[in-house]
């Protein structure tokens, strides 16, 4: 099993932060930090996946195979422009994660390794960008570094290759590094620690774990609020630590959360919660679904295309979490919530409501509850009765 | 041949479903609520329809259509190729 959970304890974070010191020294000597980053990756993978475990073997095989696929596709796409090849390559790269996710229903349950879901996004993004002719130059080392960037290995944030390689290949001037990367990075790690080991821990320890096993209306309601807040602090805390570590390594990893509970409607919520995931889904699934289906005439009406796009995108997001009924229901719920939000935001009720003084706080309270019900479904609590 | 700026304005008008976008060429269309993900798709379809250029969602950045001015600059670049 996994010897260490990434950012799982204060000791691990302390050791991890110490291991980042050579990155600071590298910048001091005005060298590209990425060389140290790549070198540090290897002990980090061993720490996260084990030295002789099934996980690390699968990880290596997976990375090598996907890399061969990416590089092969890059050279093929320079010679032939074929949609068929594109779909085959994409299909082949999706196959491993598809099998791993389904393996829970077979006797091979233990197959897989941490981070496979998130690494896959980076791989697919590369393949799609190669197809769209966005990648001018393929640098072998930077590609591996991008796909396996260890601060964001287990749960993201999900970065984009072009942006990442610009950061990685840059030598950052010392004062800029000190304030914008090191200082900011340490602050983010600190914030992450407070969120995850402070708030999330307290909510889990004193509320969630003290709930009785029996599910009643009362426990469901308490669990709903507690879990929603716990999930936020835990995930935002993890993200903050991952982003902060990325900064110290010279990479301005994108933010994952932006005060999500201030959202006044579900559309705004998804611009503030798990931002790297929702923008990835927005760019690579939603927009392409709507664009392609309006081009091929499946939808004549923009509104219908958009609403269908929302349903499809949210369903995919739900299922991506795992092959369980409650994830699918969660996807359906979020899709329907977005469609209703779209109808609401085009209505006269909304246009009048927006002008009222109490619009902001009332919308936020309602939105929070819509979110909380979704998180309740997502938690699977209702299915473990 | 219609001037490019006029084409740009027409595309934005259709995508935002209002001609108010013509008023202020420096207005951030996303912040003002005129454009969102669907709006970006509409702009891409508009470019395809009016300029004959087929683009993908990742061919356009948010900054390229955040204001009328930026969009005109973006179109000029794209049409040149």
- Are A290 and B36 a contacting pair at CB < 8 A? no
Contact B57 A288 (CB under 8 A): yes
Residue A321 known to be catalytic = yes
Q: Which of B44, B45, B57 comes nearest A283 by C-beta?
A: B57
Q: What is the CATH number of the domain that holds B23?
A: 1.10.1200.10
User: Which residue of A lies nearest to B14 if distances are taken between CA atoms?
Assistant: A302
Q: Determine whether the interchain pair B45/A294 forms a contact, defined as Cβ–Cβ distance below 8 Å.
A: yes
pLDDT per position as a tens digit, A288-298: 999 999 988 88
d(CA A227, CA A232): 8
With 0-12 / 13-18 / 19 or more C-beta atoms within 10 angstroms meaning exposed / middle / buried, residue A292 is middle
- Per the structure, the complete domain to which residue B68 belongs is given by 4-79
Rg (CA), chain B: 11
Residue of B nearest to A295 (CA): B45
Q: Which of A134, A215, A321, A369 is catalytic?
A: A321
Backbone angles phi, psi at A210, to 5 degrees: -90, 0
Total residue length of chain A? 385
Residues on chain B touching A132 (C-beta within 8 angstroms): 56, 58-59
Instruction: Enter the DSSP assignment of A255.
Output: P
| Distance of alpha carbon A357 from alpha carbon A336, whole angstroms | 28
Using one digit for the tens of pLDDT, what is the confidence trace for A314-361? 999 999 988 889 999 999 999 999 999 999 998 888 888 888 888 999
Of the candidates A254, A251, A248, A253, the residue with the CA atom closest to the CA atom of residue A178: A248
A283 vs B42, B44, B58: nearest CB: B58
Q: How confident is the model at residue A385 (pLDDT cuts 50, 70, 90)?
A: low
Provide the number of structural domains found in chain B: 1
Residues of chain B with C-beta less than 8 angstroms from the C-beta of A306: 38, 41
pLDDT of amino acid B1: 47
Quote the pLDDT of residue A370: 97
pLDDT for the residue numbered A353: 87
Most B CBs within 10 Å, among A290, A295, A341, to test the B interface: A290
Question: Tens digit of pLDDT for each residue in A85-122?
Answer: 999 999 999 998 888 888 877 776 666 777 888 999 99
Confidence of residue A246 (pLDDT cuts 50, 70, 90): very high
Tokens representing residue B79 in the block: 């049409």
Please check the confidence at residue A379 and state whether its pLDDT lies above 70: yes
Whole-angstrom distance, CA of residue A151 vs CA of residue B72: 39
ipTM associated with this complex = 0.89
């Amino acid at each position: 099993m996994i010897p260490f959970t990434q950012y799982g304890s204060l000791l691990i974070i302390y050791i991890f932060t110490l291991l980042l010191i050579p990155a600071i020294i590298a910048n001091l000597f005005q060298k590209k930090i990425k060389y140290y980053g790549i070198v540090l990756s290897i002990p980090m993978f061993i720490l996260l996946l084990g030295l002789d475990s099934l996980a690390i073997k699968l990880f290596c095989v997976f990375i090598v195979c996907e890399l061969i696929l990416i590089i092969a596709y890059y050279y093929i796409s320079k010679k032939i422009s074929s949609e068929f090849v594109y779909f085959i390559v994409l299909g082949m790269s999706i196959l491993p994660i598809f099998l791993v996710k389904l393996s829970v229903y077979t006797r091979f349950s233990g197959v897989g390794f941490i981070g496979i879901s998130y690494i896959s996004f980076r791989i697919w993004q590369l393949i799609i960008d190669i197809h769209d002719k966005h990648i001018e130059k393929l640098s072998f080392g930077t590609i591996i570094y991008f796909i396996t960037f260890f601060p964001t290995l287990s749960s993201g944030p999900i970065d984009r290759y072009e942006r990442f390689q610009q950061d990685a290949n840059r030598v950052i001037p010392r004062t800029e590094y000190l304030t914008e990367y090191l200082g900011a990075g340490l602050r983010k790690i600190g914030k992450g620690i407070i969120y995850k080991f402070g708030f999330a821990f307290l909510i889990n320890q004193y509320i969630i774990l003290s709930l009785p096993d029996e599910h009643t209306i009362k426990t469901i309601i308490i669990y709903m609020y507690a879990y929603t807040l716990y999930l936020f602090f835990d995930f935002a805390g993890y993200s903050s630590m991952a982003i902060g570590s990325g900064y110290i390594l010279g990479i301005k990893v994108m933010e994952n959360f932006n005060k999500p509970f201030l959202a006044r409607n579900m559309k705004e919520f998804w611009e503030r919660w798990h931002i790297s995931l929702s923008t990835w889904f927005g760019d690579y699934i939603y927009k392409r679904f709507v664009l392609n289906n309006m081009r091929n005439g499946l939808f004549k009406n923009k509104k219908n295309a958009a609403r269908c796009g929302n349903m499809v995108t949210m369903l995919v997001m739900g299922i991506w979490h795992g092959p369980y009924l409650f994830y699918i229901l969660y996807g359906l719920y979020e899709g329907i919530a977005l469609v209703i939000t779209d109808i609401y935001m085009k209505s006269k009720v909304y246009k009048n409501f927006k002008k009222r003084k109490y619009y902001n706080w009332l919308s936020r309270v309602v939105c929070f509850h819509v979110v909380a019900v979704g998180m309740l479904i997502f938690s699977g609590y209702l299915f473990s009765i | 041949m219609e001037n490019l700026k006029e084409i740009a304005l027409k595309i934005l008008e259709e995508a935002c479903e209002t001609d108010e976008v013509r008023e202020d060429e420096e207005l951030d269309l996303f912040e003002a609520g005129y454009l969102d993900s669907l709006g970006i798709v509409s702009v891409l379809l508009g470019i395809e329809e009016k300029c004959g250029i087929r683009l993908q969602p990742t061919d356009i950045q948010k900054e390229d259509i955040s204001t009328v001015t930026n969009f005109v600059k973006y179109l000029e670049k794209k049409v040149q190729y």
